[in-house]
Amino acid sequence: MKRNDGSALGVVVVSIFADTAAFFVRRGGFGPMHVFLTGGLQTGKSTAIDRFLAREGIAPGGFRTRWDRPAGRLELTVLRAGTPRATLTVARMGPGGAQADPDAFDTAAHLLLEGDSPVPPLLLMDELGFLERCSPRFQQAVLALLDAPVPVLGVLRAREDGPFWVPLHRRGDVTLLELTLDNRDQMPGRLAALLARSGRERRSSP
């Protein structure tokens, strides 16, 4: 796949979500449009999200990642209505640690920006870490989707050297929640309350 700087991503995203844009108003102070969990490793962030999705009966778009430890590879699965659309190996474990595949991340970016029909009620981004720094195209795709009129629920790995750490902390439409062993059982309910409030406020805004 030919790589580029992603300068046309904004046009693509506007096209994907044009049929629903009239139903959403993005304005500071109207509650979180996007929610990301962060926290320590193996605290249950993905599990909390899965419990929330099951509780609310939501079939998201977006993507999720998982390490296949025996095979030594990181798989990224692009979702359509909650089911796998494509699975890509975006990194492999080598002698010096994880080695990212820029072309695989670029392909994932392309698939994510193709969009779903009908538009999903929620986009999943589980997780955003540091390996994505190899692919400016993937980074720009994520930021473009955050500018689109669909709420995002995700996991942000707690690494300040990651390409998303600073941009997400600076956004007024992102709420970051730290998940711990003490609060993880309550997190699905908290996610439901936050995202429901966000939806009500967007619908009622002028």
| 19 located within any domain | no
- What's the order of all strands across the beta sheet hosting 73-80? 97-100, 83-94, 73-80, 61-68, 123-128, 152-156, 34-38, 174-178
Mean pLDDT, all residues of the chain: 84
- pLDDT band of residue 199 (cuts 50, 70, 90) is low
What does DSSP assign to residue 134? G
Q: Is pLDDT at 5 greater than 50 in this prediction?
A: no
| Nearby residues of 98 by Cβ (< 8 Å), 6 or more positions away | 74, 91, 92, 131
From its phi and psi, is residue 156 left (phi > 0), alpha (psi between -120 and 50) or beta? beta
Backbone dihedral angles phi then psi of residue 27, each to the nearest 5 degrees: -155, 135
Q: What is the pLDDT of residue 196?
A: 82
The predicted model gives 11-34 an average pLDDT of 41
Rounded Cα distance between 52 and 87, Å, is 23
In a domain, 136, yes or no: yes
This prediction's pTM: 0.82
What's the CA gap between 107 and 160, in Å, rounded? 25
At residue 80, φ and ψ (nearest 5 deg) are -135, 115
Q: How many domains does the chain have?
A: 1
In a domain, 23, yes or no: no
Residue 34 has a pLDDT of 95
Lowest pLDDT segment from 1-10, 152-161, 180-189: 1-10
Specify the pLDDT at position 168: 97
Q: Look up residue 88 and give its two tokens.
A: 């890509």
Within a domain: 126:
yes
pLDDT at 14: 39
pLDDT digits over 71-88, tens only? Answer: 999 999 999 999 999 999
Convert the pLDDT of each residue in 109-153 to its tens digit: 999 999 777 889 999 999 999 999 999 999 999 999 999 989 999
Q: Is residue 25 part of a domain?
A: no
Lowest mean per-residue pLDDT among 8-22, 35-49, 139-153: 8-22
CA distance 35 to 23: 19
Does residue 187 lie within any of the structural domains?
A: yes
Asked whether residue 49 is domain-assigned, the answer is yes
Q: Is 6 part of any domain?
A: no
Residue 135: which CATH number? 3.40.50.300
Domain that holds residue 49: 30-204
